[in-house]
Amino acid sequence: MSHVHIRTMLWLFILLVAPGTFQAVASEEIWQIDRFWSGPRKPMVDISYGMSSLRHRLFEGELDGVGAVEVRLGFFSARPETTNVTYLSDKYLYFNYSSSDLFGRALDPAKTKSEISRFGSGGRSGYAYDFTASYLYPYTQTSLQWVRMNTGRPNGLSVKDVAILDRYEGTLRFSASAEAGIAFGFGHVAAVRAGYEVMAIYPRHVFWPWVGSYGIAMVGMGAISHFGKDIVEASPTLGPIIYTLLRGGLAYGYYLLVRDNQYWPFGSETPMTADGFRFGMTLTF
């Protein structure tokens, strides 16, 4: 088997299995590998939209923002945790399309336009306040994805900016994202939500430094989640919120570190990053 085929199979494995594994690392079963699609579950469809700002710390011009629409297909599961608190988990595959002119946005001719397509897999989880007929769900989520990016470049871009954009166009690039937010659900049938997403797009991917960097973040996430579960059990009133704040805070802190150095703490390149608000609806069957 060629090295190209082996590498392709490895990345397919990572996209399908790794988010489920990371969710297991970030749960109370720290040393167990989660089978991504296993366990009692219900099918779900999720649709969301939002706006993101694109940034690259070395880019001298201006990158225009993008509107985004996203569709997720996956499974929803719920596990009673303590009085009026339920642990919720979503695992999904998804496709996202973003463009500078989506939603009829007025384009600035001086800014670089972008069109971004991405697909991958991810997981969303948290402890929900369960009111029987409805629930309030503070959540966090992580996703791994492949990204294809095309740009519309204004006149007068510097040679340095052109070289940066050339690193991202014409091929698939690996990417990771995280989101934190809150959802309001109706009887585990439908839910609306609002969240804030951050994403890093790697100009190239070096496997072992990425494993080391992302692994450090996920071990930290697992430790916080294990501690947060104890807080939920001790304080069902404040625990779900504190759990999400701790996990979301760690994810955002890691994002700030990788904006300059994509494989922090290992020396590496500066990635393209994006962040913005998301609004969506989930239907569970």
Q: Which domains, from first to last, does the chain contain? A: 3-284 (2.40.160.20)
Q: Give the 3-state secondary structure of residue 115.
A: strand
Does the pTM surpass 0.75? The reply is: yes
**Binning pLDDT at 50, 70 and 90, where does residue 190 land?**
very high
CA distance 217 to 46: 27
Which residues does 165 contact at the CB level (< 8 Å), separation at least 6? 112, 151, 153, 157
Tens digits of residue pLDDT in 134-150: 999 999 999 999 999 99
pLDDT at 5 over 90: no
Q: Which amino acid, 144?
A: L
CA distance 197 to 181: 9
Tens digits of residue pLDDT in 228-260: 889 999 999 999 999 999 999 999 999 999 999
β-partners of residue 143 are 122, 177
CA distance 69 to 118: 11
Tens digits of residue pLDDT in 201-224: 999 989 999 999 999 999 999 999
CA distance 44 to 37: 13
Which residues does 224 contact at the CB level (< 8 Å), separation at least 6? 26, 246, 247, 250
pLDDT at 77 over 50: yes
Q: Could you count the other beta carbons within 10 Å of the beta carbon of residue 12? A: 10
Tens digits of residue pLDDT in 16-60: 544 544 444 444 343 334 454 556 789 999 999 999 999 999 999
Work out the percent of the chain whose per-residue pLDDT is above 90: 74
Q: What is the mean pLDDT of residues 76-97?
A: 93
pLDDT of the residue at 6: 43
